[in-house]
Amino acid sequence: MQTLDIDDQPLGEGGFGAVYRCRAINGQPLAVPQVVKLFRDNGYGSAVKGMNTIQRLQNRLSDEHTKQQANGSDLVTAYPALLGAPQFSFEGTYQGRNVSGYCANNLKELGFEEFKDILDDQPGGLLTRYQQLSADRKLLLAFQLASGFRLLREKLYIHADFKAGALFVNLATTQCAIIDYDSGAVLDNEHDRPSTFGEMQDWLAPEIMRQLADPSNHGRRIQVDFYSDMWSVAVGIYYLLTTVHPLFFLTEISARAMQAYSTASKWPDASPATPYFNAAYAGLYAQVRNYYDTQIPPPIKDKLESAINKGFSRPTMRPSYAQWQTVLGAIQVPPTVDYFAVTPQFTVKGQPVTLTWAVQSAAEVIIGHSIYPAAGSLKLVAEQTGVYQLTATNAFGTTTETTLPVQVVEVPEIKLLVPSPAFSISISPSPLFTRLPTINLAIPFDFDRLVGFQEDNLPTLPTTKLVRRTLASRLRELARNTLKQF
């Protein structure tokens, strides 16, 4: 007996079944996270029809997987958008009732986000994260989507209910994945017009909307073909590129609104005079239109305009998946380096050099370990002889590298020796002339003890009275006596 252990509560529910997280298979942990979808019958045989579709699709995808393995690849490597395809189907019992369903990869646990959650910005910031993806990464997602639907077309499978809730996106790895295969139909030949069950949603082709809007269609059965899926894929591609419906500026996305618009206007033109134009979206329309005109390559715009303008009333004019794959694949080219120059190419160590560059089709330009815009210039200090490397990348897994040499000359070390001179000092002293001070000093002395000139004794004075005279008066007296002798 084989068993599947699932959670008690579903991860999500729809008109044709509920999805549960799978905890174990036969009691063993899972190598790859899985979900289990249990079909729910709508009273018109939807469960039986869904099981039949899944089993037939599995057989055809299994054959493709074997073919890819023979070429050294596998189904998901060749077609990344089929990561959410059924792994195996089963019939059994659940809570005492007979059930049927299938297992598929648990995309949420593999790092994917439901595109509906991205558009609804749940959780907050998710929409901004997606919108900040570079244009080439969004084009890669569109390429994967077209490639996946091309293989499904080759296997004669029609999805019939492709919408935001049936698409998952991994923002980190730039990969999308299609789910909800049970709502579709597998054809026996190209001319089949199978019937399936549908729900009203804005990705449906106008002719499918008309069938669902018919009041007499109580079972919601619709006739589908490859062209109805081609409309949904074109809408999906536009959503991936802009995050809005091609006709988001209308007050309603319905067959009658689209009919009125296509009669009066040519997409993507719109104005307040356009039938069903929503004036509240006038500002948003201008922003989206600017992005469409400047960021989307002309071949992609040509296919979108053909799908909406011509394909609205003439389904055969809608671009095929092969055409989408061709135009989306043509832009997947490696970055082209227009120029990468360094000036000067010869310099002295420690001096600056200038790098200039221009690159085409690059999402990222790396010089050294820093990211720069696709065109610009940069000044660096040259330290040694070597090369500068520019790496340009985009979402298509290609890299272009260009290197340029620069010759750096070392600055020579210069030592300056200054000799010390021998100095000889000769000094010639000169006499100093100074004026001595005049001292007028009266000195008392004993006249009787003075000795005269030429050692003569001074004249004897009367002894009756001591006379004290100054030196000046004594000298005057001496002079007078001397003159008297001649």
> For the residues of 99-150, what is the DSSP string, one character each?
EEEEEEE-TTTTT-EEHHHHHHTSSTTHHHHHHTS-HHHHHHHHHHHHHHHH
* 297 C-beta neighbours (distance < 10 Å), count: 14
Query: Which residues are bridge partners to 284 per DSSP?
Result: none
Where along the chain do its domains lie?
Answer: 4-330, 336-409, 447-484
Query: Residues for the chain: how many in total?
Result: 486
For 52, the token pair is: 């039949």
Give the contacts of 356 (CB within 8 A, at least 6 positions apart). 339, 340, 341, 343, 376, 377, 378
* Domain 4-330 in CATH 3.30.70.260: no
Per-residue pLDDT of the chain (486 residues; tens, 9 = 90+): 689 999 999 999 887 899 999 999 999 999 999 999 999 988 888 899 999 999 999 999 999 999 999 999 999 999 999 999 999 999 999 999 999 999 999 999 999 999 999 999 999 999 999 999 999 999 999 999 999 999 999 999 999 999 999 999 999 999 999 999 998 999 998 878 788 878 889 999 999 999 998 999 888 888 999 999 999 999 999 999 999 999 999 999 999 999 999 999 999 999 999 999 999 999 999 999 999 999 999 999 999 999 999 999 999 999 999 999 999 999 888 888 998 998 988 888 888 989 999 998 888 899 988 999 989 999 988 888 888 899 998 887 778 888 778 888 876 666 656 666 655 555 555 554 445 555 555 545 454 444 444 444 445 545 444 445 556 566 667 666 665 555
Cβ-in-10-Å burial (0-12, 13-18, 19+) of 204 comes to buried
DSSP state of 163: S
Query: Which residues are bridge partners to 258 per DSSP?
Result: none
DSSP state of 15: T
* Domain 336-409 in CATH 3.40.640.10: no
Question: How many C-alpha atoms does 429 have within 13 Å on its Cβ side?
Answer: 3
Give the C-alpha separation, 102 to 36, whole Å: 6
* 367 C-beta neighbours (distance < 10 Å), count: 17
Helix, coil or strand: residue 434: coil
Strand order in the sheet with 364-367: 346-348, 399-409, 386-393, 364-367, 370-372
Question: Tell me, what's the pLDDT at 195?
Answer: 81
- Is residue 88 within 8 A of residue 58, CB to CB? The reply is yes
Give the C-alpha separation, 109 to 102, whole Å: 18
Tell me which H or E stretch contains 6.
Answer: strand 4-6
For 250, the token pair is: 């209308």
